[in-house]
Amino acid sequence: MTFGRALALLACLPTAFAAFGITTSGSNMLVDSGAGLVTTINTANGDITSLNFNSVQLQDSSKFTQLSSGLGSATVTSTVDNDIAVVTIKTDTITHYYIVRSGENTLYIGTFASAEPTVGELRLIARLNKANLPNGTPESDVEGGQAIEGSDVFLVDGQTRSKFYSSVRFIEDQVHGATGDSVGAFMIIPGTGYETSSGGPFFRDIDNQGSAQQEVYFYMNSNHEQTEAYRTGFFGPYALVFTDGTAPSGDLDTSFMDDLGLEGYVAAADRGTVTGTYSGTLEDIPVTIGFKNDDAQYWASGSSGSFSGPAMRPGTYDVTLYQGELEAGTGTVTISAGGTANVDLESTLDTPDVIWNIGTVDGTPAGFLNADLIEHMHPSDSRMNSWGPITFTIGSDDESAFPMAQFLAVNNPTTIAWTATSDQIGKTLRIRTTSAFAGGRPQITVNDFTSDIPAAPTAVDSRGVTRGTWRGINQVYDYDIPEGTLVAGDNTITISTVSGSSGDDFLSPNYVYDSVELF
């Protein structure tokens, strides 16, 4: 081999063969894990411009990995100490960290925000090389699609797709990512990584979009069915992990970050915990306990009447007992550093003896028509069952025939037919809903009686169910039925969608059903 060829070969060798550490050349800061991952960060703005993993380029070359839509400009500094490299990216309101430990192909990440960024919603977007990471979430691969709603729902090969259809409830969403040939890039949100986000345990947001790039997200704050104010402070820790294609565990140990002095970060020693009991919820329905205040949110799963919460920041929290996704009881608890608090919760839901019911009182449309599909496709999708309008007959029709959502311009009204005996004359019809759009709410007609129109539900600035979620604000509507209206024999109850607004098709006023009860 000639000397020139040898030099050329050396020039082509991947920088991953270098030792662990940070080097800077011009506007490029290279962070080498010493184990195969070399991350290049633009020192002018904090964008990640290269992710070289075992000689494979995983970063898209036209759009970069960045916070929000890119910070524009930022001050980028770095330190290396005790086999830990910390890159700090700072603006007037953002302090963003990329942290690499020697021998690990993981970007540990933390984001401190004193205000929402002006460059877009607070989110990290890893815009990756789709040629090398082609496998994301099929329902969110929109490449080559035709927009059918806004600029974010597309028709691709006869199927509806959207980045929204990659979303998973926070309580379940610890690991998501994309893979290729013996390679994978995964976002991990471990432990209390959602503590500064907003929306609670059942909020869901974008995880992935496939377009010209393969995008993997961690959404920290967004207005996609936003039900509470944004929080500020330290978001995370979270991580971008590179593997041989195997999904990593969500139990990522980030305890080493306790000693790094990250802005807004609360170490384990400065946190407290909570235990407690609950009672009065329906059997065989999952129980979740939520905690929230202006600064943080947490949740724990209940089992056999008790629960144990995560390590929480000190403060006083509103506590919610959830029966499924429905608020069933409340309390308060105060957490102190190093302490363990206790709270006992009891369901205060009104549970009358019903004559009949459709659905389960759990804050979800589970079991209803199209409820098993709505999270991953648009309601107009050809794979959806016909929305109706339908007539549902009590005593003979299965709940799977009852629509999970009712749209003013699509499947309005829903009719309930029922043959009553003389001892089945109810006085109240109760309808529970989980979300609403454009002021949609139910009005009922029972035989020859028509109810008043209820007050409009609390508005949520989002398209809601067409974005693949039923999680909004739970509502309950009680309708008093005048004596003599229901009769022994055949009865007809008509539920109509009403609103002061209008819209076309699935963007017409609508709501999502939780349950219907007569008592």
Amino acid at residue number 98: Y
| Residue 75 neighbours by CB under 8 Å, 6+ apart | 89, 90, 91
Q: What is the DSSP string of 69-127?
A: T--SS-EEEEEEETTEEEEEEE-SSEEEEEEEETT--EEEEEEEESS--TTSSSEEEEE
Strands 340-346 and 183-188: unpaired
For position 14, what pLDDT does the model report? 42
| Residue 298 neighbours by CB under 8 Å, 6+ apart | 192, 195, 290, 291, 292, 309, 310, 312, 317
Among the listed residues 128, 285, 199, 166, the one whose alpha carbon sits nearest the alpha carbon of residue 473: 199
For position 7, what pLDDT does the model report? 31
Q: What is the mean pLDDT of residues 73-85?
A: 97
Q: What is the mean pLDDT of residues 7-19?
A: 44
CB atoms within 10 A of CB 77: 11
Cα(103)–Cα(20) distance, integer angstroms: 8
Task: Check: CB of residue 506 under 8 Å from CB of residue 410.
Answer: yes
Domain range 22-257, CATH class: mainly beta
* 43-55 confidence digits (pLDDT tens): 999 999 999 999 9
Where does 226-296 show beta strands of DSSP type E?
233-243, 273-279, 287-292
For position 15, what pLDDT does the model report? 42
Q: How many CA atoms lie within 13 A of 478 on its CB side?
A: 7
* 90-149 confidence digits (pLDDT tens): 999 999 999 999 999 999 999 999 998 876 789 999 999 999 999 999 999 999 999 999
Cα(317)–Cα(328) distance, integer angstroms: 17
Cα(162)–Cα(153) distance, integer angstroms: 5
For position 69, what pLDDT does the model report? 87
* 405-449 confidence digits (pLDDT tens): 999 999 999 999 999 999 999 999 999 999 999 999 999 999 999
Helix (H, G, I), strand (E, B) or coil at 364: coil
Helix (H, G, I), strand (E, B) or coil at 514: strand
CB atoms within 10 A of CB 222: 20
54 is written with which tokens? Answer: 């075992």
CB atoms within 10 A of CB 72: 15
Q: What is the mean pLDDT of residues 283-292?
A: 97
Dihedral of CA 181/182/184/190: which sign? Answer: positive
For position 13, what pLDDT does the model report? 38
What topology does CATH give the domain 356-518? Answer: Jelly Rolls (2.60.120)
Mean pLDDT of the chain, nearest integer: 95
Q: In the chain, what are the domain boundaries?
A: 22-257, 268-346, 356-518
pTM over 0.75: yes
Cα(76)–Cα(70) distance, integer angstroms: 14
* 192-218 confidence digits (pLDDT tens): 999 999 999 999 999 999 999 999 999
* 161-199 confidence digits (pLDDT tens): 999 999 999 999 999 999 999 999 999 999 999 999 999
For position 4, what pLDDT does the model report? 37
Cα(190)–Cα(177) distance, integer angstroms: 14
Task: Check: CB of residue 464 under 8 Å from CB of residue 225.
Answer: yes
Helix (H, G, I), strand (E, B) or coil at 21: strand
Cα(134)–Cα(394) distance, integer angstroms: 48
Tell whether domain 268-346 is in CATH 2.60.40.1120. Answer: yes
271 is written with which tokens? Answer: 């946190």
Stretch among 67-76, 113-122, 298-307, 330-339 having the lowest mean pLDDT: 113-122
